[in-house]
Amino acid sequence: MALLQIAEPDLSGNPHQHNIAIGIDLGTTNSLVATVRSGEATVLVNHDGCKLIPSIVNYGKETQIGSQAATLRSTDPSNTIVSVKRFMGRSFADLDTTIRYPYKFVNSSGLIQIDTAQGVKNPVEVSADILRYLRNMAVEALGEEPTGVVITVPAYFDDAQRQATRQAGELAGLNVLRLLNEPTAAAIAYGLDSKNEGTFLVYDLGGGTLDVSILSLTKGVFEVLAVGGDTHLGGDDFDHRLSCYIMEKAGLSQLNDEDSAILLINAKKIKEQLSQSEKASFSVVLSTKRLVNFVITRTEYENLVRHLVQKTLLPVKKALRDAKLDKDQIDEVIMVGGSTRMLLVRQMVGELFGREPLTSINPDEVVAIGASIQADVLVGNKKDDWLLLDVTPLSLGVETMGGLVEKIIPRNSTLPIARAQDFTTYKDGQTAMTVHVVQGERELVKDCRSLAKFTLRGIPQMVAGQARIRITYQIDADGLLSVSAKEMMTGVTSSIEVKPSFGLSDEQIGAMLQESISNANHDMQVRLYQEAVVDAQALIDSVEKALYLDADLLTEEELSQINNAIMKLKITLAKAPDDYAQLTNKIKQQTDDLNQISSNFANRRMDKAIHHALSGRDINEVADKI
Partner 1 sequence: MAIRATESAAARVQAFLTKRGKGIGLRLGVKTSGCSGLAYKLEFVDTINQDDQTFESNGIKIFVDAKSLQYLDGTVLDYVKEGVQEGFKFTNPNTKDECGCGESFTV
Window 75 to 114, contacts with partner 1 (CB under 8 A): none
Q: Which amino acid is at 234?
A: G
CA dist 341 to 10, 53, 187, 280, Å?
41, 18, 18, 16
475, 195 Cβ separation under 8 angstroms: no
d(CA 601, CA 604): 5
| Those residues with Cβ within 8 angstroms of residue 570's Cβ, 6 or more apart along the chain or in another chain | 540
Q: Which is nearer to partner 1, 192 or 205 (CB)?
A: 192
Helix (H, G, I), strand (E, B) or coil at 428: coil
Is 9 among the residues that bind partner 1 (CB under 8 A)? yes
Is 324 among the residues that bind partner 1 (CB under 8 A)? no
Is 47 among the residues that bind partner 1 (CB under 8 A)? yes
Is 402 among the residues that bind partner 1 (CB under 8 A)? no
Q: Which one of 9-17, 158-166, 243-251, 324-332 is the stretch in contact with partner 1 (CB under 8 A)?
A: 9-17
* H or E element in which residue 315 lies: helix 298-322
Q: Which one of 4-12, 328-336, 483-491, 505-513 is the stretch in contact with partner 1 (CB under 8 A)?
A: 4-12
Q: Which is nearer to partner 1, 9 or 491 (CB)?
A: 9
Q: Which residues pair with 105 in a beta bridge?
A: 114
Among 518, 516, 510, 523, which Cα is nearest to 108's?
Answer: 510
Is 40 among the residues that bind partner 1 (CB under 8 A)? yes
* In the complex, least distance from residue 137 CB atom to partner 1, rounded to whole angstroms: 8
Q: Which residues pair with 420 in a beta bridge?
A: 472
Identified binder of partner 1 from the candidate list 28, 30, 46, 152, rule CB under 8 A? 46
Is 382 among the residues that bind partner 1 (CB under 8 A)? no
What mask, x for binding partner 1 by CB under 8 A, covers residues 278 to 317?
A: ----------------------------------------
Give me Rg for the CA atoms of the chain.
Answer: 32
**Residue 231 per-residue DSSP state:** T
* In the complex, least distance from residue 12 CB atom to partner 1, rounded to whole angstroms: 4
Is 67 among the residues that bind partner 1 (CB under 8 A)? no
181, 153 Cβ separation under 8 angstroms: yes
* H or E element in which residue 509 lies: helix 506-518
- Active-site pick, 85, 121, 271, 407: 85
Is 44 among the residues that bind partner 1 (CB under 8 A)? yes
Is 85 among the catalytic positions?
yes
Is 1 among the residues that bind partner 1 (CB under 8 A)? yes
Is 136 among the residues that bind partner 1 (CB under 8 A)? no
Is 360 among the residues that bind partner 1 (CB under 8 A)? no
Q: Which one of 37-45, 116-124, 211-219, 339-347 is the stretch in contact with partner 1 (CB under 8 A)?
A: 37-45
- Active-site pick, 159, 182, 259, 478: 182
Q: Which is nearer to partner 1, 108 or 136 (CB)?
A: 136
The span from the first CA to the last CA of the chain, in angstroms, equals 96
Q: Which one of 39-47, 75-83, 434-442, 615-623 is the stretch in contact with partner 1 (CB under 8 A)?
A: 39-47
Q: Which residues pair with 453 in a beta bridge?
A: 436
Q: What are phi and psi of 509, to 5 degrees?
A: -65, -40
Is 16 among the residues that bind partner 1 (CB under 8 A)? yes
Is 25 among the catalytic positions?
yes
Q: Is the dihedral of CA 262, 263, 268, 273 positive or negative?
A: positive
Is 385 among the residues that bind partner 1 (CB under 8 A)? no
Is 10 among the residues that bind partner 1 (CB under 8 A)? yes
Identified binder of partner 1 from the candidate list 21, 84, 137, 481, rule CB under 8 A? 137
Is 50 among the residues that bind partner 1 (CB under 8 A)? no
CA dist 422 to 450, 456, 474, 486, Å?
21, 14, 15, 9
Q: Which residues pair with 30 in a beta bridge?
A: 54
Assign residue 47 a region (left: φ > 0; alpha: ψ between -120 and 50; beta: otherwise): alpha
Classify residue 5 as exposed, middle or buried by CB count within 10 Å of its CB (0-12, 13-18, 19+). middle
Q: Which one of 2-10, 161-169, 226-234, 465-473 is the stretch in contact with partner 1 (CB under 8 A)?
A: 2-10
* In the complex, least distance from residue 361 CB atom to partner 1, rounded to whole angstroms: 13
Q: Which is nearer to partner 1, 12 or 521 (CB)?
A: 12
Is 383 among the catalytic positions?
no
- Active-site pick, 125, 193, 204, 237: 204
Among 500, 437, 514, 442, which Cα is nearest to 472's?
Answer: 437
Q: What are phi and psi of 180, to 5 degrees?
A: -125, 140
Q: Which is nearer to partner 1, 44 or 334 (CB)?
A: 44
554, 562 Cβ separation under 8 angstroms: yes
* H or E element in which residue 564 lies: helix 556-574
Is 618 among the catalytic positions?
no
What mask, x for binding partner 1 by CB under 8 A, covers residues 141 to 180?
A: xxx-------------------------------------
Is 4 among the residues that bind partner 1 (CB under 8 A)? yes
Identified binder of partner 1 from the candidate list 12, 107, 196, 288, rule CB under 8 A? 12
Number of residues that bind partner 1 (CB under 8 A): 28
d(CA 83, CA 27): 8
Q: Which is nearer to partner 1, 47 or 324 (CB)?
A: 47
431, 458 Cβ separation under 8 angstroms: yes
d(CA 19, CA 35): 11
Is 2 among the residues that bind partner 1 (CB under 8 A)? yes
The residues binding partner 1 (CB under 8 A) are 1-12, 14-16, 37-40, 44-47, 137, 140-143
Q: Which residues are catalytically annotated?
A: 25, 85, 182, 204
